[in-house]
Amino acid sequence: MRQRISECPAVVHCRSEDGTTALHHAIARDNQEAAETLLANDASARATTNYGIAPLHLAAMRGSADLVTRLAFQGGFIGARDPSGNTPLHYAIRNMDAIMTVKLIAGSASVDVPNLKGETPLHVTARHGSPVMNAVVIGTSRHVDKTDHQGNNALHVAARYQNVDFARRIIERATSMIRFARNLEGRSPSDIAFASSNVLMHNVFSAAQTADTMDDTDDDDDEDSFE
């Protein structure tokens, strides 16, 4: 790549008919050395193809955590959205890449930005997240009760895909209303959890119900003490 650039510097900024740059090609081929060389020669970290694909999307898909850091440092938009509305963070979480997920969030990627289906990175984590990813994403979210276009909040998704750790963490973080919110099918996360055969998921929701009952009892005792 260095030789090509020395022979024809314009190659750094050339685009194919679909808007793909040399940097896109290098990242898509997992050629980090070529990508680094292009960036060192002022290749645009923000350039998107005609389909809205940014270098950061490709780096996140490929699991190139160091390259994500470099792209962000050189002006790559951490919240870039592809034609489906997905951000690099959506892809990192789908790939179950905890290191990439943490790096993107540290770079100010939002876990609450929805794609065109209304799915946020929080929803994606509910389906694919490991305990580390669950902790980071839930802890960063400002809207844990946000719903997708089917009316599902992240707890609906966790209950459906049996992500017990995620369910436990988000129940601890959110109000009890998140367990009883109904999607467009009229089902709540509690309905989905108790309809499954997952005993651990049952235990998480049962413990939350028990905690609700104890809180109600404490409130009644407080009222009695004033009579």
* Residue written as token pair 């467009």: 184
Residue numbers of the chain with a pLDDT score lower than 50: 7-8, 218-224, 226
SS3 220: helix
Residue 65 has a pLDDT of 87
Burial of 175 (0-12, 13-18, 19+ CB in 10 A): exposed
Give the separation between CA 129 and CA 127, rounded to whole angstroms.
6
Give the separation between CA 117 and CA 111, rounded to whole angstroms.
15
Cβ(96)–Cβ(130) under 8 Å? yes
* Residue written as token pair 């905890």: 98
Give the separation between CA 169 and CA 75, rounded to whole angstroms.
34
Cβ(39)–Cβ(75) under 8 Å? no
Nearest to 109 by CA among 117, 99, 101: 101
Q: List Cβ neighbours of 69 (8 Å cut-off, separation of 6 or more).
A: 103, 107
* Residue written as token pair 């119900």: 209
Nearest to 86 by CA among 56, 107, 66: 56
Domains and CATH numbers, the chain: 114-227 (1.25.40.20)
Tokens at 223, concatenated? 């009222």
Q: According to DSSP H, which parts of the chain are helical?
A: 2-7, 22-28, 32-40, 55-62, 65-73, 88-94, 98-106, 121-128, 131-140, 154-160, 164-173, 177-180, 189-195, 199-225
Residue 147 has a pLDDT of 98
Q: What digits encode the pLDDT tens for the residues 127-179? A: 989 999 999 999 999 999 999 999 999 999 999 999 999 999 999 999 999 99
Give the separation between CA 53 and CA 47, rounded to whole angstroms.
8
Residue 15 has a pLDDT of 86
